[in-house]
């Protein structure tokens, strides 16, 4: 369906060996991820794939995407045929993304954007959203925004403990709500995975094998529980090849992002009782 020659080249270093020098976790994946986990007759490591093989994989992947699109079309046709199209909220998203050969990797893993940058398409049938149809939002959004978006559209209250925020203002107002997030966050737990044990290679142990990322338009900070951090200058290095975490010129900026991450984690650590106050009459709900 798609010509491999028309597919874009992967974003990757000249060799997997060059890529592996960036971090022990990346080195592990480059030596551990096998093609047989992704291809019926795959042999060797994913990091050994040639440029032509990566292009063929991408062409095949595009075909799979077209298959999904076709099946969604059947669902949409049914909604129209049964008179439900004009009062149905449609949200298309996914649980993860795919390396697809970028950084010599396959699958969903690690800390690169390719594993976390997922689709989010919202179709609001109400007239209030007519002015924004077909527009693209460039602000940072997160998976946790999905639930409050659905609840607000249904006219239901959003729980105080919900970490996300509704996306409906982007549809009805055409701009970000006041105080919208200026960065995106994501985390990854790589301990004792069923089919591999990265913690043994990295030396982090079972309790310290996790990472957290805070990223905006300028910088990306990757914090490991018990391994060296990563810091990327996205303006100069959008492909994220040059870790400047140890560069003295970036130490003040790195500290700023580490503090922002700490504040973020403290705010959302446990919100089970956020908005409640203990009183002689029991828990009272606060605004």
Residue 246 lies in a domain: yes
CA 79 – CA 82 distance, rounded (Å): 5
Beta-ladder partners of 117: none
Residue 196 lies in a domain: yes
All residues at 6 or more sequence positions from 31 whose CB lies less than 8 Å from its CB, including other chains = 20, 45, 47
Total number of domains in the chain? 1
Rounded to an integer, the average pLDDT of 247-256 is 97
Each residue's pLDDT tens digit, 2-46: 999 999 999 999 999 999 999 999 999 999 999 999 999 999 999
Q: What is the CATH number of the domain that holds 189?
A: 3.30.1120
Beta-ladder partners of 120: 93
Q: 209 and 191 in contact (C-beta within 8 Å)? A: yes
Residue of 179, 181, 203, 183 lying closest to 191 (CA atoms)? 203
Distances (CA, A) of 140 to 108, 114, 278: 20, 15, 36
Q: Does residue 287 have a pLDDT over 80? A: no
Rounded to an integer, the average pLDDT of 113-139 is 96
CA 253 – CA 259 distance, rounded (Å): 10
Residue 204 lies in a domain: yes
Task: Extract the tokens encoding 49.
Answer: 């794939």
Residue 138 lies in a domain: no
Residue 236 lies in a domain: yes
Residue 37 lies in a domain: no
Residue 237 lies in a domain: yes
CA 91 – CA 89 distance, rounded (Å): 7
CA 236 – CA 52 distance, rounded (Å): 28
- What's the N-to-C CA distance of the chain in angstroms? 55
Rounded to an integer, the average pLDDT of 152-181 is 93
pTM, to two decimals = 0.91
Which domain covers residue 227, as residue numbers?
183-271
CA 57 – CA 38 distance, rounded (Å): 10
Rounded to an integer, the average pLDDT of 238-254 is 98
């Amino acid at each position: 369906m798609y010509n491999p020659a028309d597919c874009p080249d992967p974003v990757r270093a000249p060799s997997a060996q060059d890529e592996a020098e960036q971090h022990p976790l990346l080195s592990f994946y480059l030596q551990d991820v096998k093609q047989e986990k992704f291809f019926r007759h795959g042999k060797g490591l994913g990091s050994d794939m040639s440029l032509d093989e990566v292009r063929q994989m991408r062409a095949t992947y595009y075909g799979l995407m077209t298959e999904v699109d076709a099946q969604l079309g059947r669902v949409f046709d049914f909604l129209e045929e049964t008179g439900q199209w004009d009062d149905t909220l449609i949200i298309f998203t996914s649980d993860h993304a795919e390396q697809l050969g970028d950084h010599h990797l396959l699958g969903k893993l690690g800390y690169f954007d390719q594993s976390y940058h997922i689709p989010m398409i919202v179709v609001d049938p109400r007239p209030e959203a007519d002015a924004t149809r077909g527009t693209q939002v460039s602000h940072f959004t997160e998976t946790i925004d999905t639930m409050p978006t659905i609840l607000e559209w249904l006219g239901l209250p959003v729980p105080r403990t919900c970490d996300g925020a509704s996306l409906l203002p982007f549809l009805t107002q055409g701009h970000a709500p006041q105080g919208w997030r200026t960065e995106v966050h994501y985390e990854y737990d790589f301990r004792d995975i069923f089919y591999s044990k990265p913690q043994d290679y990295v030396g982090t142990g079972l309790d310290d094998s996790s990472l957290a990322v805070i990223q905006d338009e300028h910088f990306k900070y990757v914090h490991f529980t018990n391994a060296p951090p990563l810091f990327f200058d996205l303006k100069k290095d959008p492909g994220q090849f040059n870790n400047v975490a140890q560069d003295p010129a970036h130490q003040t900026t790195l500290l700023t992002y580490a503090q922002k991450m700490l504040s973020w984690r403290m705010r959302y650590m446990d919100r089970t009782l956020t908005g409640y106050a203990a009183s002689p009459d029991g828990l009272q709900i606060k605004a």
